[in-house]
Structure 1
Amino acid sequence: MKNLVKILGLGLILVANFALACDACKLQQPKLTQGFTHGTGPDSKWDWVIVAVIALITIYTLIYSIKYIAKPGEKNKNHIKHSILN
């Protein structure tokens, strides 16, 4: 388990290093996204709408995934989750 955490942590660090913007891209970005992405920034207001909708969907699914992991609601003692939890 500890090895898996180390591998995931290393992978996250590597992805973060490659995902951050370079100096040339930082100058082309709007203030809100400066330093986070490569390229020029959003071209229109629709780009911001798309990003906002995707962010809302992501937050919604994150909340419900945590909710159903914490309290799945299955009461049957023969359910497969009990073989994993016990």
Structure 2
Amino acid sequence: AVHHGGITALQGAAISGDVMLAKLLLEKGAEVNAAPSLIEGRYAIEGAAEHGRLDMVQLLLNAGAKGNVLRGTGFEDAIKLAEENNHFAVVNLL
């Protein structure tokens, strides 16, 4: 995954909620579990969860998102970010 401006294209789509772009990127081989950059520090699913992007979280799960694979904490960080921002539908999904 190539980071532009600190995030991958898929991470940017996840944060902004652009499901169509995310689908296209995944179809073209974007890595759903690409490590976060040091600048932004979010996996795609964490960015989607933080911003309450329920459809995006579902898409990423269907594409094989595993949460934080570097630390081995799974969806713990994504759930925490969703809870902190009152996105309880996302919490329930995760």
- Which structure features the higher share of helix residues? 1
| Greater RCO (Cα-Cα under 8 Å, separation 6 or more) | 2
